[in-house]
Structure 1
Amino acid sequence: MCLLLLLVYTGVGSVTAEGTTVNMTVDNEDATGGAELVVFEDPETNITVTANTPIDLLEIRVNGDIYRSYRPNSTQFDRSLTLELDPNENTVETIVKTDGITTIQTAVTKHTAAPRVRYTSPFSTTIKGGPNSTVNVTSGQVTLAGDLHTMLDVERVRIERTTDYGPGENSSQVDRRIHGISNPGDSFSQELLLANGTNEIVAKYTDSRGRTNTDRFSIILDDETDPQIEFTAENESYTDTAHVSGIVRDETKLTRVEINRTSNNGSQVLLLSGNAKPNPDMLKYEFDTTVDLYDDNDDNEFQITAEDAAGNIRNRTLSIRYDPEPDVSVTEATTNVETETVRVTGTVSDAEIGQVTVETVDTRTGERMDLVRPYYAGGFTDKVNIDQELKASPENTLVYVLVKYRTGEYTTKITPDVPDTQQDTDADTDTASATTTNSTNSTETNTTTQNARSEDTGNKSVSGTDGPSGDGSPSDTGSESPTLLPIRTRDALGGIVIVGGTYLLGHWV
C-alpha cells in the first residue's frame, strides 16, 4: 500500500516535509506565513528545492493558471524568474512532487498606478475623473489644492504655470513660474498667480518609488473685478497742501494709480506698469502723497483712479476745503478789580501762525493800556498758547487778540468778566458803577457817531507797521487821540472779527 503525503503551506519562506526542503523569495523577501507581499512591478522570484528523492515535478501557478512547469528528475532545484502578475491581488503557488506533494501559496499585491488626485480647488473632481482640459476663473489669485490617493507616500509635487501675457495678438511674452512641495502628506495646497487670459498648468505627483502622475490643463482668467481703493484725507486744511494716503488692491495686477484734480485734469501719477506680467508685488499698492490746494475750493476736488491689467477701472472722489484762517479760542478773560489787571488764557491754532498779540484798551478813552506778544519767533507755528496778565480798567476794558498768519490777519475782541465777589456792595459804589456804565455806553455811542463823521469828512488812517517786516510793535504813545475810521466787522467766538485794513485804536484792524 502506497502512502501519499500532501502538504499545503501558505506564505512559506522555507518548508521541510519528509526530507523535502523548499525555499522561496519574492524580490529578495522571504515569503512569510499569513503576510501579504506588496510589489510595484513584476517581481523577481527565486525557488530552491532539496529532496531525498528525485523531484518528479515542480509547477508555479499564478491565480490558478500554470505559469511554469519543470521536471528536474534530480534531488536539487534552483531557479530564478520574473513573475508577470496582474495589477492588484495575485495568488502565487509553488507545487513540488517527490514521494509526496509540497505546496507553497503566497498572496502578492501588485500596485502599478502612480498617485491619483482628487482636486478640491479651484474646481472639484473625483479620484478617477481627473481635471477638465479647461477651467474658468474670475480671480487672478487661485489656490490649486487636492487630496492625494496612493499606496506610498508622495515625495514631491511640482506645479508649473505658464502664461502668454502679450502685450498684443502679434507679439508674445511668456512668463513661467514653478512651485515645488516636498512631502505633502495626504493633501496639498498651492497659491497660483495668474495673468488675464490663458494659463497653462502642468501638475506632477511623484511617490517614493519614483512613479509620477501628470495632469495637464488650462486655467482661463476672465477678470471683471475693479480694483479696491481705501484712502484717508483731511476734510479741511489750513495750509495750501494736504496729505492723502491709502491702499489700492487688485486680484490680478495693478497697472496704474493716479490722483487727478477734477477742475483742470491735473494728474499726479503714483504707479504705472507697462505690461500684464503677473507680479505678486503689484497686487497691493500703498501711497502717501500731498496735493496742492487753491483758494477757490471748487478747484480742490480730486479723483483717485486705479486700473488693473484687465482694464478694469475704479474711481474715488474726495474734496478738501482750504481754510487758512486761524481758530482763536479764549477760555478765560477775567478782571481783577483790586490789581486792575485782566487775565487772558486760550489758544490760537489751525493756521500757519506768524505772530500773536494781546492788547487791552480803555473803552472810555480808546487808549491802549497794555500789550503783550505771546508769539513772534520769526517763523510759523500751528498753535500758540495764551496765558497773559495785562493792565485793565475794571468795567471799562476790551481785550483784543490779533493774529498774523501766512495769508492774512485776524482780530477778535473780548469783553472781560468782572466777578461779582470783586464788586463793591455799598450804594455809593453801585451808583458810581452805574455812572461808569452809562459813561461807557455814551462813549460807544459817540464813537459810532464819530466813525460816521470820519467817513463823511474823509479822514485818513494813521500808518504804522505790525509784522515780521517791521519792529513787531504798533505805536503806543497814547499822547494823541486815535483817529476813528469806519470798519467792517463780523461775529467770531463771542467777539468781533475786524475785517478791514485800517489802523484803529493804535493797532492794525
Structure 2
Amino acid sequence: MQRGSLVRVVLVALLVLVGTVPATVVAAEPTVDLAVDGTSMDPGDRLVVPENPVLSVEASARTTVERVVVRVDGRTVQTWVPGTQTMSESMRLDLPNEPQVIQVVVTGSDGSVAASQITVVKDEVAPFIGFDEPFESDPRGRPPADVSLSESRVTLSGTLTDASNVEFVRITREHRAQTAVDFEVVSQTHVIRDPGEEFSQELFLGPGDNTVRVVVQDEFGNSRTYDLSFSIADTTDPTLSFDGVPEETSSSTVFVNGTAADNVQVNDVSYAVFGEVSRRSVVVGQGPAADPARERVRFSREVELVPGPNRITVWATDTSGNEVQELVVVNYVRNVVPTLAVDETRTHLVAGEEVHVYGAARDGRVSSLSVETVDESGTVVDFAQVYDGGDVWNDIEFEEELGLASGGDTTVVVRAVDADGTEHVTRYAVPTAASADGEGSSDDAGALTTEVPAEGGAPADEPSGESEGSEATNTATAVEDGGFGVFAVGALLLVVLSVARLRNVTVDVPIEKYVDMEDTSVSLPSLSSLPSFPRIRR
C-alpha cells in the first residue's frame, strides 16, 4: 500500500504541473504599439500636430486578438475584431483644437487585456496676444482702435497663448510724415524669435500718426495679425543742458557745448549773441520723420566774444513747434598787450663776448617769454627761454647773458606770447665796445651826392667837354635849413610851369630824383639839370 500511495502522489503532482504550465502561457497580456503620423508613441507620450492625424495600431496575442477599441477622450471612435494572432490597422482621427487623450484597448481570445494611452494636441489655431503695454487687452479680445501717447519712446509687450510653441513675433512700425511736397513713410521692423510665453520690444514713434503691425506665428505656421494705431501729441517743450560754459574768459572765443532733448524729437538748435537780429543755426532741422537719433542731440559752436559781458541765447525747437530758450552770459576780459622793454641802463657787455641783458614784460598777460641774440643776417646766435609754464602772468622780469655775433652788429630780440596766442616782439641793438666807451659815436655829417643821368646828353646851350655818348654829372649841395630847400624847389617849379603855360608847352621835370620828403636835408637841383627852354616841346 505504501508503494501504491507513492505512485498516486507522483501522478497527482505531474497532473498539477501539466495543467498549470499551459494556463500561465495562455493568460499572458497582448501587446499594442501606437504611432501618430508615423511617430512612435510610448504610453504617456504627448504630441502636437497641425491637423487631424493618422493613428496606427499594431496588436498581437498568444492566442488570437479578439477585439481592438480606439477611444478619444473617453469616447469610442473605432472597433476592430480581427480574430487573428496579430493585427495592424490605421485610421484618421477627427480631433478638436485642444488636447485629446487617445486610448487603445486590446482583448485576447483567452480573456487577457492590454491598453496604451497617449495625448495628441491638434493646433490649427494661430496664437493669441494679450497686450500689457502701453495698453491692456484680453488675449481673446480686440485691442483698442487708437492709442494716444505723449512720448515717442514706448515699450510694446504682451502675453502669448497657443497650443504649441510660438515661433516668432514680428513688429513693424510705420510713421507717415508730411514733407514740403508729399508724405514720407518711415518704417522699422523688429523680429523676436522663440519668445516663449511673453514678449517685449521698445519702439520709437514719430510725431503724429503711427501704425504698428504685430504678426505672431506658431511652429505650424498658424499666424495672427494685430494692426495697432498710435497718435503722438507733443505739448512738452524741449530741454537744454550745457557743458560748463565759463562765466569769464580771457579768450576772444568760447565754445558753447551741450545737449538738447525732447520727449518726442528735437528739430533744430540755434543761437544768437545780444544785439544780433537773426539766429545762427547749430543743429539743422531734418523734418518730422521718426528718427531715434533726434531724441537727444549734441551741439557745439564756437562763439566770438566782444570785451565785457556777452549775452548768448540758445534756442531748441521740437518737431511739433514747442520751443525752449536758455541764456548764458560770458564775460570776456580782454588781454592787455604786454609792454616789452630792455633796460638799457643796466644792460652791458661782458668781456666783449657776451651781453648781460636786463628787461621785463609788463602790463599784459604773458604765457611765454624768450630772449635771443641775432647777427646782421637775422641768424640766431644765442637763445634763452625765460618762461614757458603755460599759466598766464601779468609781469615777468628777466636777466640773461647771451653770446654776441662773431662779426658785425648784434641785436637782442625779446619775444612774448600772450594768453590769446599772439606773439609780441621788441628789438634792441647792442652797442659796440667803442660806442659803449663814448668814442667814435658821433654821426657822420657831410655832403650827400646824388648821381642823376642826363637825358639826351648835355643841354644844347651849355658847352660840354664830354665826348658824345658820355654822361654828364651834376652836383647839388645839401642844405640843412629845416625845410627851406623844399620851398626853394617849389618856387623854382612854379616859375618853370608858369612860363610853360604861357607858351602852351609840356615840361618834363624829373624833380622826384632830388627831393626826399622824409629827409629834412634836401638837395636842390642845379639849374643846368632842369630842362632848358629850347627843350620845351609844344
TM-score normalised per structure 1:
0.58
Change (3 A) 1:384 1:66: same
The alignment-based identity, stated in percent, is 22
Superposed CA deviations along residues 133-174 of structure 1, whole A, max 9, x for unmatched, are 322221111122334455655443321111211227x83211
Q: Counterpart of 1:281 in 2: which secondary structure? A: helix
Superposed CA deviations along residues 248-276 of structure 1, whole A, max 9, x for unmatched, are 12233222111123422232211113321
What are the within-5 Å matches in structure 2 for residues 60-459 of structure 1? 60-72=70-82, 76-96=86-106, 99=109, 100=111, 102=113, 104=115, 106-110=117-121, 112=123, 113-129=125-141, 131-150=143-162, 153-167=165-179, 171-231=182-242, 232-295=244-307, 297=309, 300-324=310-334, 351=335, 353-355=337-339, 372-374=359-361, 383-384=392-393, 386=395, 388=397
> 1:91·1:105 contact (CA, 8 Å) conserved in 2?
no
Q: Counterpart of 2:293 in 1: which secondary structure? A: helix
Consecutive unaligned residues of structure 1, counting only runs of 5 or more, are: 1-15, 325-350, 362-369, 391-402, 408-466, 474-509
2: distance between equivalents of 1:132 and 1:272?
37
Once the two structures are TM-superposed, the CA of residue 323 in structure 1 deviates from its matched residue by 2.7
Residue matched to 1:431: none
Superposed CA deviations along residues 83-130 of structure 1, whole A, max 9, x for unmatched, are 112233423333456634746352424252544444333233444446
1:164 maps to a residue whose letter is R
2: distance between equivalents of 1:83 and 1:52?
29
> 2:282·2:300 contact (CA, 8 Å) conserved in 1?
no
1:233 maps to a residue whose letter is V
- Between 1:57-66 and 1:158-167, the stretch displaced more is 57-66
Consecutive unaligned residues of structure 2, counting only runs of 5 or more, are: 1-25, 346-356, 372-387, 400-415, 430-538
Count residues in correspondence: 349
> 1:155·1:183 contact (CA, 8 Å) conserved in 2?
yes
2: distance between equivalents of 1:48 and 1:23?
5
> 2:31·2:59 contact (CA, 8 Å) conserved in 1?
yes
Change (3 A) 1:314 1:73: same
> 1:48·1:77 contact (CA, 8 Å) conserved in 2?
yes
1: distance between equivalents of 2:304 and 2:117?
88
1: distance between equivalents of 2:184 and 2:31?
71
2: distance between equivalents of 1:221 and 1:120?
19
Residue matched to 2:49: 40
Residue matched to 1:445: none
> 2:340·2:426 contact (CA, 8 Å) conserved in 1?
no
1:384 maps to a residue whose letter is W
TM-score normalised per structure 2:
0.55
More strand, by proportion:
1
> 1:89·1:110 contact (CA, 8 Å) conserved in 2?
yes
1: distance between equivalents of 2:391 and 2:342?
17
Q: CA RMSD in A?
A: 4.1
2: distance between equivalents of 1:282 and 1:49?
71
> 1:239·1:352 contact (CA, 8 Å) conserved in 2?
no
Q: Counterpart of 1:277 in 2: which secondary structure? A: coil
Change (3 A) 1:133 1:358: farther
> 1:352·1:382 contact (CA, 8 Å) conserved in 2?
no
Once the two structures are TM-superposed, the CA of residue 216 in structure 1 deviates from its matched residue by 2.4
Q: Counterpart of 1:195 in 2: which secondary structure? A: coil
> 1:119·1:126 contact (CA, 8 Å) conserved in 2?
yes
Q: Counterpart of 2:183 in 1: which secondary structure? A: coil
1:372 maps to a residue whose letter is G
1: distance between equivalents of 2:332 and 2:29?
112
Once the two structures are TM-superposed, the CA of residue 30 in structure 1 deviates from its matched residue by 4.2
> 2:358·2:398 contact (CA, 8 Å) conserved in 1?
no
Once the two structures are TM-superposed, the CA of residue 290 in structure 1 deviates from its matched residue by 1.6
Change (3 A) 1:214 1:244: same
Change (3 A) 1:91 1:101: farther
Q: Counterpart of 2:393 in 1: which secondary structure? A: strand
> 2:30·2:107 contact (CA, 8 Å) conserved in 1?
no
- Between 1:283-292 and 1:90-99, the stretch displaced more is 90-99
Once the two structures are TM-superposed, the CA of residue 70 in structure 1 deviates from its matched residue by 4.2
